[in-house]
Amino acid sequence: MTSLRINGQTHDVDAPDDMPLLWVLRDILGMTGTKFGCGIAQCGACTVHLDGKAVRSCQLAVGAIGNRAITTIEAVGATPAGAKVQRAWLDLEVVQCGYCQSGQIMAAAALLATTPHPDDSDIDAAMAGNICRCGTYVRIRAAIKKAAAATQV
């Protein structure tokens, strides 16, 4: 049994230590908001927060997590940065197919949590790991700036 702190709740899961968090979330806990895109940390669709930092859950073995806090798309709206990002995503209609957007929002929220007023190069650095096949990048950039400008949600 591995004990995981996810979105403020403790979950005891029966999973091998080398099993990536992605599959524990999706296939054992039924939390499907976090997406599978590539399995090799190239696309960012599986991005979650580990102690507030954006990480690729497809490469994160559950045995290596320990007591660190995991936050997923289902609960990121409870953080100030996450709420601002979600609001901006709605206001600017960023989303198309939406499949990558959980990961985009998690990456953007982690960026704003550490860099409240990112410039374009900050956005490039934080977001270049997240592929959007629909090509919503123009709006992602605009929405991050809008979220950064928002005082509160």
Partner 1 sequence: MTIHPVSPPKNLSRRFVLRSGAAAGGGLLLGLYTHGAAAAVVNASEGVHADDGPFAPDAFIRIDRTGKVTLVMAQAEMGQGIYTAHAMILAEELDAAFDHVVVEASPPSDKLYANPIFGIQATGNSNSVRAFWTELRQAGAAARAILVQAAAAQWKVDPATCTALNSEIIHTASGRKLAYGALADAAAKLTPPANPPLKDPKNFRLIGKPLKRLDTPDKVDGKALYGIDMLPPGVKFATLAACPVFGGKVGHVDDRAAKAVPGVRQVLVFDNFVAVVGDHFWAAKQGLDALDITWNEGPNAHVDSALIWRDLEAASEHPGAVAKAVGDADKALQDGDRFEAHYAMPFLSHAPMEPINCTAHVRPDGCDVWVGTQVCARAQAIAAKVTGLPLDKVIVHNQLLGGGFGRRLDIDGIEQAVRVAQKVDGPVKLVRTREEDIQHDFYRPVYYDRLTATLKDGRINGWTHRITGSSVMARWFPLGFQHGVDGDGVDSAIDEPYDIPNMRVEFRQHEPPAVPTGFWRGVGPNNNVFAIESFIDELANKAGKDPVDFRLAMLKTKTPRLAAALELAAQRSGWGNPLPARRGRGVAAQVAFASFIATIAEVEVDENGEVRVPRITCVVDTGIAVNPDTVIAQLQGGLIFGLTAALYGEVTIDKGRVQQSNFNDYRMLRIDQAPAIDVHLIRNGEAPGGIGETGTTAAPPAVRNAIYAATGIALRRMPIDRDVLAGRKQP
Binding residues for partner 1, rule: CB under 8 A, are 15-16, 19-20, 23-24, 26-28, 30-40, 42-43, 45, 72-74, 77, 86, 89-90, 93, 95-102, 105, 123-125, 127-141
- By beta-carbon proximity to partner 1, the closer residue of 13 and 69 is 13
**Smallest distance from the beta carbon of 149 to partner 1, in angstroms?**
18
For 107, the 3-state DSSP assignment is: helix
Q: Minimum Å distance from CB 96 to partner 1?
A: 3
30 or 67: whose CB is closer to partner 1?
30
Task: CB nearer to partner 1: give 2 or 136.
Answer: 136
Least Å distance, CB 45 to partner 1, is 6
Least Cβ distance, residue 116 to partner 1 (angstroms): 19
The distance from CA 8 to its chain's CA centroid, rounded to whole angstroms, is 16
What is the spatial distance between Cα 91 and Cα 96, in angstroms, rounded to a whole number?
14
Radius of gyration of the chain (CA): 15
Structure tokens at 116: 């409240």
Spatial neighbors of 153 by CB under 8 A, at least 6 apart, are 80, 83, 84, 87
CA distance 47 to 36: 9
